[in-house]
Every structure is written in C-alpha cells, then in structure tokens.
A and B are shown apart, each in its own frame.
Chain A
C-alpha cells in the first residue's frame, strides 16, 4: 500500500527523471522513517516543479534536453516528441491548405455551435440564481387537492402560519404572485411602473443588499419603495440622488430607500406560479407588504371583520432551508402544518395541502426539457461533423500510407504512429476550437437576440469559466473522436506489404474499408434521429398554429389602462366608461369595442368559488371557476360566439338584478344534464351575497395559452362592478396596428394623464405565446437541415473515395465488358445498403428516444407514423442521390487509362 502510494507520488516527476532516480528514491523511501503524508506531498511538489524546470530548459535549449538526466545515453522527452509531431503536422497542413481549412472550419462550426448551446443551458439552468447560497432556497405553494393543483398560491393568513410553525426553514418570506401596474404621477404626467409586493424580510432572506441605499427593515411601516437597477437607469438616468426622493404611487407618496444591483432579479416569472402567466418580465419597483393601515386595505389583506384573509390565495412564498435539510423534508413539514390548519380552519382550509419546490426548478423547470433537447441535438450534430472530419482524415491517411509504412519500417512502434496521428487530429481540433470560440460568440449573440423574452433567465446567459471549460473539453473530445479511427487503422499498417504494394497504387486495408462503412452508417443513423426530432417538433408547431383559440385573433387591438385614481365611486367610474366607449366607437375604422379584466393570451387568471342555488355543498367543497368581468360589447368585439341565451345588455345596470354569462366548459361541468340559463349562482364564500342569474352561455376561449385546455369561466357585467385597470379590445376594419396612434391620441384627449400601456395586436400576442416553441423549432430545424446536409456530404465523400480507390478494379471490369449501368447499380447499391443499415439503426435509436420529446409535442404522438415513414425515405433518397455523383464518375472511367495507372 505504502509502495503503491509512493509510486503514484513519483508520477509527478518527468518520466526520464523517474527512470534515472526512481530506484534510488524508492530505496531512500524504504529506509526513511519520516511521516508518510508530508514525504509524499513533498515528492509531488518536487515532481511538478521538476517538470516545470525541465520544460523551461526545453523551451530555452531544446537541443540540450535529451541530456538533461542522462549524461551518456540520450532520450527523447515527451516535449521533444510533441514538438516533432507538431512540426510535422504544421508542415503537412501548409502543404494541403484546402484540406486543412475545411477540416478546421468544420470542427470550428461544430465546436462553436455546441459551446454556444451549452452557454445557453449554462446561463439558464446551471448558473446559480442571484441569491446567496441559492441551492437552499425553496418555493412553498398551497396544494389544492380538490382540483389537483399542486402549485397554487397561498393565502396571507396561511402564509403567516407556515412562517411561524415550520421547523425546517431559516426564514420564509412572501410576495404577490402577480405584477401590479402601478400608476405614478410625475411632473411630466402619469405613467405606469410595474411593481411587486414583497414581505419586508425578503431581501435579507435572499442574502442580497442594495447597490445604493438600503433594503427594507424587518418592521418597515413607512411607505417606502425600492427600485430595480434597470428601471433606475431607464427612467431615472442612474441618478444616485434618487434615494430619499418621493414617488407618488397610486396617489400615495412613497419614499425611495434603495436601488438593487443589476444582477438581482425577483421574482422570476416561473415563481409567479401557474397563474403567473404574464408578458411583463421585468420588475421596476418593490413595495413592502403591510398587514395593517391603508396599505393592507388597498391590497385587500383584511376581510370584513378585520382579520387577515385566509380564503383568497394570491401569495407566493420562498424560504431558506436549514443546513442539511432537503426539499422533501420541507414539504413533509409544510404538509403537516397544512393538515393542522385544515383541522383548525375547516371552512377555508379543507382540501388544501402544501408543496415545496426548489427555487431553481420553480424558475426554469418548464424550459429544462426543451433546452435538454437542444443540447442533445447539437451533440448529435457535433458527432456528425466529427464523423465527416474523421472520414477526411481517414482519406488522407491512405495518401500517407507510404509515409507511415516508411516510418514503421524505420522502427516507429504502433503506439508511436498512433500517437502522431492523434496529435495531428487534436491539433486540428485545437485550431477548430480556437476558431470555434469566435463562432460561439457569434452564435450566442444570435441565439440571445432570437430568443423570446419569455425564455427565463436568457438575459443571464454569457460566457463564464464553465462555458470555456466546456469548450476546452469539447475540443479535446472532438480531437480524440476524430483521430481515433484513422490512428487505429493506420497504426496497424503492415510496412512490408504496403511498401511492396506502393509502386502499384494502394488499396485500403479491409479494416479501413470497414471503418469507412461504419462512418456512413453512424452518420445516417444520427441524421435519422435528429431529423425525426425536428419533424416531430415541426408537426407539433403546425398543430398549435391550427388551434382555434375560441375568438377571432385578427383585426383586434388590445391595451391595458388605469382609470383616474380620483374616480372612487361606481357611478363615477361608469360615467367615465360610458363616455370612453362612446368615443372609441366613434373613431373611424372601429367596428366594436369592449373590455375585460383578464384578456386571453395576455394576462393572469383569477378564480373564485361558486355556489349553485338548490345544491347545498360545504363551503370547502364549492367548485372553483375562473372569474372575469365583461365590459361593453366584449363578446362581439372578440368574436366569441353566444351559444345560448343572451349577451349582457345595457339594462343589466347597477340597480338591475345581477346577471352572469358562463362558458361552455362551465355549463358542461356544473350543469351536465340541464339548461344553465336561468339558474342562480353565487360567487365567493359570502352566504349573504344575493344570487346571480345565468343569462347566457358563450363558447370556450383558450385563456392561458393556445395549448391550455379551457377552464370553467364565469363573467359578470362591468356595470354591476366597474374595474379600475381593464384590458380594452377594439375590433377594427383594417390592420389594427394602424389604429394604435389614433387610439392613443383619442385617449389623451379624454384625459391626458390616463396611462395606457401594453398596447398590441391580438395576432402579435398569439404569436408571442408560441415564441418559445418557435425558437426551439427553429434551432432543432436548423440541426435537422444540417444533419441532412452532413449526411449527404458524408455519403458522397465516402463513396467518392471508394470509387477512386477502385479505379483499377472498375477499369478491369469495363475492359472485360461490364456495362456502365451495372457499375452504377453496384456503387449506388452499396451506398443504399449502408444507408439502409444506418436508417434501421437510426430508427431503433429514435423510437425509444422520441418520448423524451413528449413535453414539446402537441397534437401528435411521439410515434407519429407519418414522421417515422417520411424521415427514413428522405434519408435513403439523400444517400442514394449523394452516391450518384461518384457513380457517374466511375462510369466515365476510361479502362485503358485506369489500367495504365503507375
């Protein structure tokens, strides 16, 4: 054992030094009675510094080095061999500039693209979140077991109990699971800032401090606000004197106390939970959550009896796990607390458990499968590019057979020859890697520019040590991958046979011929796998594009606005809206106008419980439905069909009996065998609220996204409860974007301080919901195209080589009377045979791998027959076509000339 350790320690020394002094040192070691560990450690440091001095000596006086340790004999050191090989490679490379450039470029593209994709994966998935010790952070959700929604927001009262009662967390903090467009009045008018409400301990728990000023104190009671770096630069010109100034937010003065550093992000869109579907990705302001005073009232934190709300769920929670605690333990802890709360507050908490999710998963978990697909795809492409380069090198090694045979005859061992060839391919890879870095920077820039802003953390993607390490490893690996086949096949060269044969032109050894066949097979197989993935994604994309969202997305302009703060009564607000809608409808080019509190494809959801008259159900078991208000001509403007009953009309005013419209899904689920029209329902848990009559049923609308299954929805009329920050929709005669300026001008005329924002066409919003899918498809599609091209080039290259090698044979055949068409069949047939094997292997690989794509597929199964029939046919066709060119060349061979070679 001791000896083994010693031998290992000795490896630190240069080999020649070991040969010269190793035995003596071993002997001394056996006699020595010093401490084992320090002695070995000293040997290791000595060894490496000896390597250092030997290398310095070699670098300055290369020609003396052979005598460094041995005065009599001479030995070649590692560095000498390397130097000789490098010189040889460079000389060869300069002699064949086209070959060298092509090889380096192919490798550079492969390595560069791979590293760029890895950089995205690294920035999004691997880099730590901008919080201290982020691996210990965990998001806590309420688990709605009735509806099976494991990541439902928490109610504030439950949050406080989780905070107090848990035993596994070093701090739990809360935030609102939505972004609030906050009205801010400045000298230049009213504008909107996007804010998020957080509990006061959040920043401390996350372990972050302000770049300027301070963060909230734990008992922050004064109205204060913190700015994000982006907002501070964009809106306030990065003026540090902003600290201490006052911002008028929603009519209340808030004092600015701090600006967060540029890398700080909170919350990530993923942390907004399932309802957090929002286009707004950046937060401008953080406001403290208070549990008393006007702030608490404004946030509807207290119920009618002044208690903190327990039945409405709109909070997110993030906590820091105690050291050594796992997320599962936290979840068990939270479930126990939730069970206790269920006992204590059955009316509100029945059916509510809890979930804990690591914060990194919460932030980027949804995009992980897509990015892993990209990484796998690019790895396949890289292997294909390497295979092509390996084929080039293999072809060249034939041309060099005489050289290698001569070397072998002069005494070079197999390992020496293999090492030389491997050095060559690694040198090519290194050059490729260096150029690949440039390719990576370009590709990365393109990827970031192309990436949808909804891709989480895309702004955090950059080049760090991990990316550089990956580039280095990819380069070395590619070098070995590319070099190993030529090295093996050339190292086994038989000098005698080759040198004798040399005068008569060479024929590749059987090993090499098999190696080349293997390359074609591998290439076709990989191309099948990549193309299958790309086609599956393409077919899914088409399916998603064809989804009917339930309303007309064309010729629709939408925006959000906040009505003036001074309109506090329902009557005042309705007067404002009456005037507003009338003036909007009067604009030229407007067909109809409406509004809602939650616009499809572009906002969050809010749900409520409903009680149906005549169906007594305990409060905790009431069904949950999506809740929205319809304003003015909302359904006609959107193109949502009325299936039964009627639309709201102006007679359903504030003093009329309250009425509601529900969607098909709600009608089907809650009134399966009866007519919902005329039924009475009550929203919310309050038993004293009057009944609402259902007057109509509308078609289903895809609300959260095109791929999301419609949920039960109930709409009430805005006249019976006017909203303050509605989404307005305008149906236009022509291109809706053209109307944007007219609308803005008209709104300014109504009230110059009326902030309108997020104005866009519904077609753009529809397109945005598909942006991540489009991004992934674009990249994988590019991989697929590349794979087909590489496969074609690969087959072409190999078949050309085979033809040129068999020139003599072909000549003989032609001379003996073979028909040129027979030759064509022979060569194309050979290519087709190899391609068929490749296709078979590719299918065998793709079939079990296809389900990995499931998360990205829509409307088709991962065993989509159309895909699995077309892709193989396409590849067989490409392989056959690629073989046609060399086959035609073979047909043109002049038998006389072929036989006269050499």
Chain B
C-alpha cells in the first residue's frame, strides 16, 4: 500500500472539516455531530442531514473516521445509533488542515486582513 500522506486530502471541504472538528473530542453519532456544529457556530453553520451523511460516507471510505461497533454509552437513548470516531489517519489529516489554515491566517495578518500580530 502507498505511504499515507495527509496532505493529499487537503484542502478539506468545509463540511468534512466541521465533522473532523466535532469528532476531535470523542466519538459522536450523526445527530450529535449536527448539534455540535450548530452550537459551536452559534447557529451560523447549519448542516443538512443529507449533506452530513454523504460527507460521512466519503470520510469512512477514506478511513479518516471509523464506525464503532458498540455504543460507548450504555444508557444511550437509541440502540440503532451508530457512533463515529477519528482514526489516526483522520487526526493526521485534521492537523494538516489546521496547519494549512494557520498558514493562510498568518498570511492574512501580514497583509492586515486580520487583526493581531504578524
């Protein structure tokens, strides 16, 4: 198999990055990802379920996230829920994307598009 290169996935689509962000602090099910994105952005970003699962399918296929076989929370409200978590590849890709964005932010600051020290 080819050597894994996180950069080959960049840039991530905004939806994919949102999902990776939401999964960064632990496993979640689909609806919880939707809620997390909603809360974090203060309602500014509102994912549609169809968009979410299409993106999840792509991320699963690329092995950036994986599906848990068992529910982490025994008191879960719904047994049918499937939980997703980041794989090591997923973490690496998310970090790479953050690095890429950081570079862009730094460039924005030097050109005074963004407040803060250059």
Interface, chain A (partner B; CB < 8 A): 13, 17, 20-21, 23-25, 27-29, 31-32, 39, 42-43, 45-47, 49-50, 53, 67-69, 71
Majority DSSP secondary structure for residues of B touching A: helix
User: Which residues of chain B come closer than 8 Å to A53, judged between CB atoms?
Assistant: 54
Q: Which residue of chain A has the shortest Cβ distance to B34 in the bound complex?
A: A28
In the complex formed, the residue of A with least CB distance to B69 is: A72
Bound CA–CA A23/B67 (angstroms): 15
Contact (Cβ within 8 A) B61 A71? yes
Knowing A24-B29, A28-B30, A71-B61, the reply to whether A39 touches B48 (Cβ < 8 A) is yes
Q: How far is the CA of A716 from the CA of B21 in the complex (A)?
A: 104
- B80 beta carbon closer than 8 Å to chain A: yes
27 contacts between A and B (CB under 8 A): A13-B50, A17-B53, A21-B56, A23-B80, A24-B30, A24-B53, A24-B81, A25-B30, A25-B49, A25-B50, A27-B78, A27-B81, A28-B30, A29-B49, A39-B48, A39-B49, A42-B48, A42-B50, A43-B48, A43-B50, A46-B50, A50-B50, A50-B54, A68-B61, A71-B60, A71-B61, A71-B66
Complex Cα spacing A27 to B49, Å: 10
- Distance to closest chain A CB from B92 (angstroms): 19
**Nearest-neighbor residue (CB-CB) of A44 within chain B:** B50
Total of A-B residue pairs, C-beta within 8 Å:
61
| Contact in complex: A68, B30 (CB < 8 Å) | no
Is B31 among interface residues, defined by CB-CB distance under 8 A?
A: yes
Complex Cα spacing A31 to B81, Å: 13
Instruction: Report the minimal beta-carbon distance from A144 to chain B, rounded to whole angstroms.
Output: 68
Q: Chain B residues with Cβ under 8 A from A69's Cβ?
A: 57, 61
**Residue among B34, B49, B60, B67 making CB contact with A43, cutoff 8 Å:** B49
Hey, which chain A residues are within 8 Å of B66, CB to CB?
Answer: 71
Are A68 and B57 within 8 A (Cβ)? yes
Among residues of A, the one whose C-beta sits closest to the C-beta of B51 is: A46
Using a CB–CB cutoff of 8 Å, the interface residues on chain B facing chain A are 29-31, 34, 48-51, 53-54, 56-57, 60-61, 66-67, 78, 80-82
A37 to chain B, nearest CB (A): 13
Bound-state CA distance A17–B51 (Å) is 12
Which residues of chain A come closer than 8 Å to B60, judged between CB atoms?
71
Write the chain A residue with the least CB distance to B61.
A68
CB <8 Å contact, A46 and B81 = no
Identity of the chain B residue whose Cβ is nearest the Cβ of A16 in the assembled complex: B57
Q: Pick from A20, A32, A49: contact of B49, CB below 8 A.
A: A32
Docked-complex contact B61 and A67, CB < 8 angstroms: yes
Residue of A nearest to B33 (CB): A28
- Closest chain-B Cβ to A793's Cβ sits at a distance in Å of 54
> In the bound complex, what is the Cα–Cα distance between A798 and B17 (angstroms)?
66
Do B57 and A17 touch across chains, with their CB atoms under 8 A apart? yes
Measured between beta carbons, the chain A residues less than 8 angstroms from B78 are 27
Q: Which of chain B's residues have a CB closer than 8 A to the CB of A21?
A: 30, 53, 56-57
> Which residues on B sit within 8 Å (CB–CB) of A43?
48-50
**Looking across the interface, which residue of chain A has its beta carbon closest to that of B48?**
A42
A27 and B57: CB pair below 8 A? no
What CA separation (Å) do A21 and B34 show in the bound complex? 15
Most central of B30, B57, B80 by chain A CB within 10 Å: B57
Residues of chain A lying within 8 A (CB to CB) of residue B51? 42, 46
User: What chain B residues lie within 8 Å of A29 (beta carbons)?
Assistant: 49
Nearest-neighbour CB distance to chain A for B101, whole angstroms, equals 25
A-chain residues with CB within 8 Å of residue B50 when the two chains form the complex = 13, 25, 42-43, 45-47, 50
Top 5 A-B residue pairs of the complex, sorted by shortest distance between their CB atoms: A46-B50, A21-B53, A28-B49, A42-B48, A24-B30
The reply to whether B34 and A20 form a contact with Cβ atoms under 8 Å apart is no
Among B50, B54, B57, chain A packs the most CB atoms within 10 A around the CB of B50
Q: Nearest residue in B to A32 (C-beta to C-beta)? A: B49
Distance, CA A31 to CA B77, complexed state (A): 12
Q: Given A31-B31, A42-B48, are A25 and B61 also a contact pair (CB < 8 Å)?
A: no
8 Å CB contact of A46 from B30, B54, B67: B54
**What is the minimal beta-carbon distance from B16 to any residue of chain A, in angstroms?**
14
Closest Cβ of chain B: how far from A32's Cβ, in Å?
A: 7
A121 to B34, CA, bound (A): 56
Most buried by B among A28, A31, A67: A28
A67 to B, closest residue via Cβ:
B61
- Cα distance, A470 to B106, chains bound together (Å): 62
Residues of A within 8 A of B57 (CB): 17, 20-21, 68-69
- Contact for B82 among A24, A32, A49, A67, CB less than 8 A: A24
What would 20 more interface pairs be, CB under 8 Å, given A24-B49, A25-B50? A13-B50, A17-B53, A20-B57, A24-B29, A24-B30, A24-B31, A24-B81, A25-B30, A27-B81, A28-B31, A28-B49, A42-B50, A43-B48, A46-B51, A50-B50, A67-B61, A68-B57, A68-B61, A71-B60, A71-B67
For B54, the chain A residues whose CB sits under 8 A away are 17, 46, 49-50, 53
CB distance from B48 to the nearest CB of A (A): 5
- Residues of B with C-beta under 8 A to A47: 50
Closest to A10 in B: B50
Chain A nearest CB: distance from B30 CB in Å? 5
CA distance A518 to B37 in the complex (A): 65
Q: Bound state CA distance, A43 and B56, in angstroms?
A: 15
A-chain residues with CB within 8 Å of residue B29 when the two chains form the complex: 24
